[in-house]
Structure 1
Amino acid sequence: MKKLLLATALTGLAGLSGAAFAQDVVRLGTEGAYPPYNFINDAGEVAGFEREFGDEICKRAGLTCSWVTNEWDSIIPNLQSGNYDVIIAGMSITEEREQVIDFSQGYLPPATSAYLAMSADTDLMSGPVAAQTGTIQASFVAENGMTLVEYATPEETVAAVKNGEAVAVLADKDYLVPMAAESAGAMVLLAREESIGGGVGLGFRDSDDDLRGKFDAAIKSMKCDGTLDAMITKPEYFGPDAKTWGDAGKEGC
């Protein structure tokens, strides 16, 4: 999915080694603000695709898990500080992030990014293009000749287009499709789309190899038995046309 968080690596965290996992509950950290990946429901609980997926891999790994929410711009530093043990927040696997954390194997294939604007003939060079701070979309806009304007939350990027602060927003298509639908025609997805990012994975501290191995095995089992693809294509998540792992996900099963 999305995000290229250029977080500065925290040093002196050797004490947060694999021994940190001699605890009864594994804490899963998410943003809680990026449906259908993750959001807070009316009961005040974490919901969305990653809630169902996270609960399932914890079950398969034989782990008791709890959920913690954290703002996106500090999600890596707070993993390193020990505020939770795993990032599960639609985080794209990138070389930059792999310099400071480890990733599981991907659980979502690389997603398509799209532009949401007020008109189908919007010129992306005519004004600022909004993106959430620290995302792969923000980097793409900045590196491809457009004027970037960044916001802390995905909701603010859409609001920027509505109030004229930006001519369009670039984000995961899966996030923007319902935004366009909810606008009742006031906002439209542009024909131009972008393919960026390397798939979505769980984030771990470098020292937590054992924990990462348990989750990797659980993810692989879901790919092998088809459970993961079936979950991805649920209508309440990414729908029947979503990218799935297919036969490639069953290699080595």
Structure 2
Amino acid sequence: MKKLILSTAALALTAGFALADTVRMGTEGAYPPYNFINDAGNLDGFEIVLGNELCKRAGLTCEWVKNDWDSIIPNLVSGNYDTIIAGMSITDERDEVIDFTQNYIPPAASAYAATSADADIMGGVVAAQTATIQAGYVAESGAALIEFATPEETVAAVRNGEADAVFADKDYLAPLVDESGGELVFAGDDVPLGGGVGMGLRESDTELKAKFNAAIDSMKADGTLNALIVEWFGPDAATY
């Protein structure tokens, strides 16, 4: 990965915070390119690189914790880790339970992928990951929703004929479509959902939220966040 260069502003930010603080960062490890387990068995991806840089700028030490998606919010609330950084879209419903930093990925498109561009995405069977904004959208669309615990299972359901299409973040689906050799194609129009992707925190952790917001601000200001987005999601990705 390309090494990020700390700006003067970021160094000043780091100097203002205690360097000994350790923050436990909860992530799924199953949603490339946001987060995944690499060939060496380690957590990797856009959010791992981003989270480590944000901790550095905030004067904090990251400690990564892998957690399944369907229990990721309850385990934050119960104190098993201090943040969620796992491709989580900011929504009003989630904001009633936890708090969020500002977004570090702008609001982006969700999309349908299928084995045919003519797949029945409005009246057929559509797969989505449990407890996602995409699952909520499908449930209200008129299609028959089939939910799975992991994103890999949603795509497998299309490949094995269990579902007519999968609905997910386009950033997640795009490389799968590109690498499928024509087996998977996009169907229908892109759908904008959510308020972008942000870090989830307990509502009581206002100081930690302020530190991470300041770090995100510094990365937006010096261009390193945009560079990281393009590195992981490609030149057509939405940036700041």
Q: Same fold (TM over 0.5)?
A: yes
2:9 matches 1:29: no
2:227 matches 1:224: no
Residue in 2 aligned with 1:250?
Answer: none
Within the candidate set 87, 103, 106, 1:106 is matched to 103
Paired letter, 2:233: F
Residue in 2 aligned with 1:76?
Answer: 73
Number of equivalenced pairs: 222
Q: Percent of counterpart pairs with the same letter?
A: 67
Question: Whose strand proportion is higher, 1 or 2?
Answer: 2
2:226 matches 1:205: no
Map residues 234-249 of structure 1 onto 2, 5 A cutoff: 234=231, 237-245=232-240
Residue in 2 aligned with 1:85?
Answer: 82
Paired letter, 1:94: T
Within the candidate set 35, 49, 52, 2:49 is matched to 52
Q: CA deviation at 1:180?
A: 1.2
Q: CA deviation at 1:24?
A: 3.6
Map residues 189-200 of structure 1 onto 2, 5 A cutoff: 189-200=186-197
* Other structure's SS at 1:106 match: strand
The CA RMSD over aligned residues, in Å, is 1.3
2:98 matches 1:116: no
Map residues 38-187 of structure 1 onto 2, 5 A cutoff: 38-187=35-184
TM-score, length basis structure 1: 0.85
Higher mean C-alpha displacement, 73-82 vs 116-125? 116-125
* Other structure's SS at 1:110 match: coil
Paired letter, 1:197: G
Counterpart Cα distance in 2 of 1:232 and 1:124: 29
Is the Cα contact below 8 Å between 1:126 and 1:167 reproduced in 2? no
Counterpart Cα distance in 2 of 1:244 and 1:88: 18
For structure 2, which runs of at least 5 residues remain unmatched after alignment?
A: 1-17
Q: CA deviation at 1:144?
A: 1.5
Q: CA deviation at 1:199?
A: 0.5
Q: CA deviation at 1:182?
A: 2.2
* Other structure's SS at 1:201 match: strand
Counterpart Cα distance in 2 of 1:93 and 1:192: 22
TM-score, length basis structure 2: 0.90
Counterpart Cα distance in 2 of 1:77 and 1:61: 25
Counterpart Cα distance in 2 of 1:87 and 1:126: 34
Paired letter, 2:62: C
Is the Cα contact below 8 Å between 2:122 and 2:141 reproduced in 1? no
Q: Deviations over 1:113-154 (max 9, x none)?
A: 111101111122452100000100001111111111111100
Counterpart Cα distance in 2 of 1:145 and 1:226: 42
Paired letter, 1:181: D
Is the Cα contact below 8 Å between 1:28 and 1:85 reproduced in 2? yes
Counterpart Cα distance in 1 of 2:206 and 2:42: 29
